[in-house]
Each structure stands twice: as C-alpha cells, then as structure tokens.
Amino acid sequence: MRGIFVTGTDTDAGKTLVCAALLAGAPPTWRYWKPVQTGLATDPGDTATVVQLARLAADRAPDVGLRFDPPVSPHFAASQAHTRIALAALRRQAVDLFAGDTFAVVEGAGGLLTPLNDRETMLDLARALALPVLVVVRVKLGAINHALLTERALGAAGLPALGFVLSGDDDPSLVSALAQHAVLPVLGRLPTWAPDTPLDGQGARLRLALLERLP
C-alpha cells in the first residue's frame, strides 16, 4: 500500500484543507480516506469537504470507515456507541480500498496522540497502515511547541516522517524556530483559505515537495 498519513498538531490544524489541496489536480490514482470521523451530528464530515474542495469524483474519496455523531474524541464516541475501534479491521479495509497503484492520502482525526481506544492512538493507526507521516501545523501561538512535540513523538515511535506543512498566515517566528530546532523540513505553507479559491496550484507545489521526500 502506497501513500501518506496526514496528522496535525491539534484539532482543526488544517489537515482536511491540506488533503484537499494534495488531491486537487492530482492523478486519478490518488485517493482520499478518513478512517475515523466524529461530529457528524452537526457537520457533513471531512470526506464531503475534500470532495467539494478538490472537485473529486466520489469514488476517489470513499466515505467508509467508522462514523460517529458526537463531536468528541474517537475513543469516547466509540464507547458511547458500545463499540471499540480495532486497528486490524481498519488496516484490512485500507488494503481493500488501496490496491494496485493507488496512492492513499489518509487523514487522521485530531492530533497524533488522539486516542482510538483504551490503549491505542492515531500514532498506532499510522504504524498499522505502514505509511509515512505528514504533519500539518496550524499557525498560532503555541505552534512551535506543538510541532516539536509531534516530531519527537514520531521519532520516539520510529515512524517515518516526511515534514511539516504550515496552515495559515505567514509567521516568521514559527519558520525560524522549526529551522533551528526541528529535524523535519517545512515542505510548504497553505495560506488561510478563501471560499471559491482553486487549490490546484497550491496542491501541485505541495505534491512536488512531498514526492521528493517519499522513498
């Protein structure tokens, strides 16, 4: 299975927008998947958002996996639904979805250590899928700490990581701190998005930077 796992420094870091940019104008072999989604009681969900923003055919973003209505952590949403999120089942589903030469853009929920059950987190899901990780950093106060902590968690777990994508307005202090203290490179920045702005150009630049880092 070829592809990447997209995580963020926290909830609403900009993961879905980065995924949409990566898919906008991408080859038809590129497909999107959100294995676990919460908050569907009040939101159409990230799959629908990616389809709309990237202008994808629905079959390139299959809306399958674990889906929960409450806008809470996946582990808690699952417990409220009297079920348990099992990584083995998600891996089997991923293998079925992304056979052949398909390139998977898999979006996590929340940050890297968001719990999925009583023992495992999004980090464990990335490991189970055996995908290198792309980290989306929301530009805000505290982003330096969040980005460096995420990088260290990836390193401690021995997970392959590709780099950072900054989401939001330009912040020279964040860029300089990551240059001085992070091991991972900044692969690009996705500015604050305005409605009806095409993502194709920005997506093409992100894909190029990403492909240069992939083994």
- Separation between Cα atoms, residue 113 and residue 70, nearest integer Å: 19
- Separation between Cα atoms, residue 15 and residue 152, nearest integer Å: 19
Write down the pLDDT at residue 193.
Answer: 73
- Separation between Cα atoms, residue 138 and residue 119, nearest integer Å: 27
Using alpha carbons, select from 108, 170, 116 the residue that is nearest to residue 136.
108
* Catalytic-role residue among 31, 34, 75, 146: 34
- Separation between Cα atoms, residue 133 and residue 15, nearest integer Å: 12
pTM of the predicted model, to two decimals?
A: 0.95
Using alpha carbons, select from 112, 111, 106 the residue that is nearest to residue 12.
111
Write down the pLDDT at residue 183.
Answer: 97
pLDDT tens sequence for the chain (215 residues): 999 999 999 988 999 999 999 999 999 999 999 999 999 999 999 999 999 999 999 999 999 999 999 999 999 999 999 999 999 999 999 999 998 899 999 999 999 999 999 999 999 999 999 999 999 999 999 999 999 999 999 999 999 999 999 999 999 999 999 999 999 999 999 987 766 778 889 899 999 999 999 98
Asked if 6 and 126 count as a contact pair (C-beta separation under 8 A), the reply is no
Instruction: List, in order, residues 6 or more apart from 94 with CB less than 8 Å away.
Output: 1, 33, 35, 104, 106, 129
- Separation between Cα atoms, residue 133 and residue 29, nearest integer Å: 19
Which domains does the chain possess? 2-213 (3.40.50.300)
**Residue 34 a catalytic site member:** yes
Q: Is 186 helix (H, G, I), strand (E, B) or coil?
A: strand
Asked if 213 and 163 count as a contact pair (C-beta separation under 8 A), the reply is yes
